Chains A and B, each alone.
Chain A
Amino acid sequence: MAQLNAFADMENLRREVDRAFEEFATQSPASRAAFLPGRGPRRYPLINLLEDKENLYIEALTPGVEPQSLSVSVMRNRLTLSGEKTRIQGDVKPEAFHRSERSSGKFVRTFDLPVEVDEGKIQAEYKSGLLIITLPKPEKAKPRQVNVKVG
């Protein structure tokens, strides 16, 4: 079990490093070109990835996002999340702010899933500021019990 966790940590580290390089690359003006769709320069929203035998689950922190603006698309094992976090409604002058920590605007984030998923059966649910996406695994990616015959 301890070994498994070590592998999971390595995987997380690998993703972090990839992400750092991606972010670095998007800083330079040359790579900011519009022909690379679905590459947001920042890591938003934050996600957690979970799995059980049947499905993968993505839980994203998206408080204050208009549910109509959310879109999820999957191409093979690459998932893209986009949406818009609404600004404060009404005309509030900048000098009226005492604190402004919550951000707003459009976002897009793309990441790779560990397995290809069944694209037709993806479900997404937006509930109290969390986006929960259920991605069913295809038959071949599900764990299978193999019976051992005694000869």
Chain B
Amino acid sequence: MAEKTVPQYAGEQDASEKEDTRSQEKYVTPAVDIYETLDGLVVKADLPGVTKDGLDLRVENNLLTIRGRAAHRAPGEMLYREYQLANFFRQFELSDKVDQQNISAELKHGVLTLNLPKAEEAKPRKIEVRIA
């Protein structure tokens, strides 16, 4: 029972201000999964309410920045609130082993999937043993 239900991720409940700036905007840290495949790394981030237009992905100085603007809001007056649909912001440092030119991204049902391929030199290589 316990394993099958979805545990609470604390980050999405409360928006907090980004520490490194003095901007007044509030940000939520999205929950991410990062895992390795043979070809590289896959990053999945939950960005509910973010559409393609509201998403800003950058790689600068080995720093991957995910920034999302949650666009949709139901109409009406708030009666009861459990979360704030604020903007999403999260940064990751990339290693040199990621081929930064060939990062691809897909956004589906509010989940961003980033494929970070390994650079050629970092891929596992099989070395043929020649028998003399």
User: Chain A interface (Cβ within 8 Å of chain B)?
Assistant: 8, 11-12, 15, 32, 40-52, 55-59, 61-67, 85, 88, 90, 92, 96-107, 114, 126-130, 132
Residues of B contacting A85 in the complex (Cβ-Cβ under 8 angstroms): 6
User: Are B109's CB and A64's CB within 8 A?
Assistant: yes
User: Are A50's CB and B9's CB within 8 A?
Assistant: no
- Please measure, in the bound complex, the distance between the C-alpha atom of A104 and the C-alpha atom of B4, giving whole angstroms: 8
- Please measure, in the bound complex, the distance between the C-alpha atom of A49 and the C-alpha atom of B81, giving whole angstroms: 6
User: Are B77's CB and A52's CB within 8 A?
Assistant: yes
A102-B35 contact in complex given A62-B48, A129-B49, C-beta closer than 8 Å: no
Q: Which residue of A lies closest to B29 (CB)?
A: A101
Q: Which of A11, A50, A62, A99 contacts B32 (CB 8 A)?
A: A99
Q: Which of B34, B47, B79 contacts A99 (CB 8 A)?
A: B34
Chain B, residues 44-87, CB within 8 Å of chain A (1/0): the string is 11111111000000000000000000011111111111110100
User: Are B82's CB and A46's CB within 8 A?
Assistant: yes
- Please measure, in the bound complex, the distance between the C-alpha atom of A56 and the C-alpha atom of B74, giving whole angstroms: 10
User: Are A64's CB and B80's CB within 8 A?
Assistant: no
User: Are B35's CB and A98's CB within 8 A?
Assistant: yes
Q: List 19 A-B contacts (CB under 8 A).
A: A32-B1, A41-B5, A46-B13, A48-B80, A56-B79, A57-B74, A57-B75, A59-B73, A61-B12, A64-B46, A64-B110, A88-B33, A88-B35, A100-B33, A102-B31, A102-B33, A102-B45, A129-B47, A129-B50
